[in-house]
Amino acid sequence: SRSDVHYFGAGPAPLPTAVLERAAGALLNYKDMGIGICEISHRSPEANQVLADAKQSLTTLLDIPDDYEILFLQSGGSGEFSAVVYHMVALWVERRRLRAEEDLRTAIADGKTEGGLEANVLARLKKEVEEELKLDYLVTGSWSLKASQEAARLVGSKHVNVALDAREANGGKFGAIPPESDWRLTPRIREGGSGSALVYYCDNETVDGVEFPSFPQCLETLPEDAVDNDPPLVVADMSSNFISRKVDVKKYAVIFGGAQKNVGNTGITIVIVHKSLLPPAARLASPDLLRQLNLPVGPVTLDWPTIAKNNSLYNTLPIFDVWVAGQVMGDLVQTFGAKKIAGQEDVSIQKAKLLYDALERYPQVYRIVPAKTVRSRMNICFRVCGGDADKEKAFLAGAEKSGLLGLKGHRSVGGIRASNYNAVPLEGAQKLAEYLESFARAQ
Ligand code: PMP
């Protein structure tokens, strides 16, 4: 039964039992309406309240500033790989268009440039896109790699600058983050460079067990590059460490994450986006202009301005999924009070330490995959007996017998992965640490 088991799946992942028990009731009879939450209209007052509550809890947990909006989409984390490109490129183009218009209007008035304003602006933008459009990606694992590949698919690989491929300095494998001095970011405008449309990274690499220890120092000053109150240009995928530690939201243009690890069940993706990318202030190039520049225009269901204008209800949002996420987040608000997400951060560090300490005690049996400074608190990846297939099988079989489930590593890398998300209780981490000890002693 559920109480005999601890589950360490990487996503879908465990959910708090208390939330599932409330969910069972809500599925049958929501707020005594006689119908269940999956049956109510997404446009009903009840659904609106579910959305408002979830947003409020997330705002409280992460101290999200007023100039950010929270959106709920059904894109999956992967859908946001594309959405990020559509929007950040449209922002870059609009910024260039405004500058070109200003320069050329004066030049035309002074008789220095011939022809109409619009044609001149378009010609200049075509040249700038061709020569200067760059999207910077920090590739530290499978998911940032996939995101960078999606960018290349959408805008062409010559516009994608892989500013860091962490495999290069690590024998062709992910597992380290080289020093910032080795990153090859596109030179900033104030340094005489052309600047990039975004700097993208994945805060926690689910498959490879690599987590950024903190916000990259060299990106701290990016907002200062911004002209005319542009937003910061940093985009982060926080799918697998969402609401597990403090985040300084104002350093980002966009933070996104699928719900199915730390927040809720599969079905929704949460996007925290700076309002300069949204109406009424949205400074995004029009679809017409993007088409003329051979740049991609995304589907309307991924269009953040459209989603924002409709309070995330442009199309039918799975309100049950939002409700579950809202319950999980609401419980964290209750549990940690004034500490907010820092309370959850403490617990996640404590649980991760238990497991890494147990692994480190038996270096002859366990090899932790990532480098010590970038070890994930969320996805603890290791090999057993040098990756011996039979030993790893035996490890998993023994774990299962002890009620410890979901420990098999991702199919692309093998090995063992213990996902230590928020809903894994301290007791679950303790049980796993004990099993690590007993298995190692038996070798
Ligand atoms: N980013 C990260 C860090 C992930 O772990 C995942 C899913 N495991 C994704 C993106 C993709 O999410 P989805 O499957 O919802 O598209």
Are 374 and 315 part of one and the same domain?
no
Residues 259 and 356 in one domain: no
CA quadruple 213, 218, 219, 223: dihedral, nearest 10: 140
Residue after which a domain boundary falls, among 320, 347, 378:
320
242 CA → ligand 1 middle, Å: 12
23 part of a folded domain: no
Q: The domain containing residue 9 runs over which residues?
A: 2-14+339-441
Using an 8 Å Cβ cutoff, are 154 and 177 in contact? no
H/E element holding 379?
Answer: strand 379-384
**Do 274 and 417 lie in a common domain?**
no
Same domain, residue pair 305 and 361: no
Structural domain contains residue 312: yes
- Would 251 be classed as within a structural domain? yes
> Is 46 among the domain residues?
no
Query: Which parts of 9-165 fold into alpha helices (H)?
Result: 17-28, 45-62, 76-109, 117-132, 142-155
Determine contact, residues 385/443, Cβ cutoff 8 Å: yes
Kindly report, residue by residue over 86-98, the tens digit of the pLDDT.
999 999 999 999 9
The SS3 assignment for 405 reads strand
Q: Do 365 and 253 share a structural domain?
A: no
Our mutation pick for probing the ligand 1 site, out of 78, 202, 262, counting the most ligand atoms within 8 A of Cβ, is: 78
| Domain presence at residue 186 | yes
Instruction: Report ipTM for this prediction.
Output: 0.99
Tell me, yes or no, whether 303 and 390 share the same domain: no
Residues 6+ apart with CB under 8 A from 238: 203, 204, 247, 255, 256, 257
Instruction: Name, in order, each residue with C-beta under 8 angstroms of 52's C-beta and a sequence gap of 6 or more.
Output: none
Q: How far is the CA of 239 from the centre of ligand 1 (A)?
A: 6
Write down which residue in 320, 349, 375 finishes a domain: 320
Whose Cα sits closest to atom 12 in ligand 1?
77
| pLDDT confidence of residue 276 | 87
Ligand 1 pocket list (CB less than 6 A): 11, 76-78, 143, 202, 206, 237, 239-240, 258
Indicate if 419 and 384 belong to the same structural domain.
yes
**Residues 128, 264 within the same domain:** yes
Looking at the fold, whether 114 and 82 belong to one and the same domain comes out as yes
CATH for 144? 3.40.640.10
Closest atom of ligand 1 relative to the 76 alpha carbon: 15
Query: Is 325 domain-assigned?
Result: no
Domain end residue (candidates: 320, 347, 370): 320
Q: Is the domain of 131 the same as that of 192?
A: yes
- CATH classification of the domain holding 406: 3.90.1150.10
Q: What distance in Å separates the CA atoms of residue 324 and residue 77, rounded to the nearest whole number?
A: 18
Entry pTM: 0.97
Residues 264 and 124 in one domain: yes
Residue 40 lies in a domain: no
Residues 275 and 202 in one domain: yes
Provide the number of structural domains found in the chain.
2
pLDDT below 70 — which residues of the chain?
A: 190, 221-232
Question: How many angstroms separate the alpha carbon of residue 249 from the centre of ligand 1?
Answer: 20
- Best residue among 206, 207, 235, 270 to mutate for probing ligand 1's pocket (most ligand atoms within 8 Å of CB) is 206
The pLDDT, as a whole number, for residue 222 is: 54
Q: What pLDDT shows up at residue 224? A: 43
Is 47 a domain residue? no
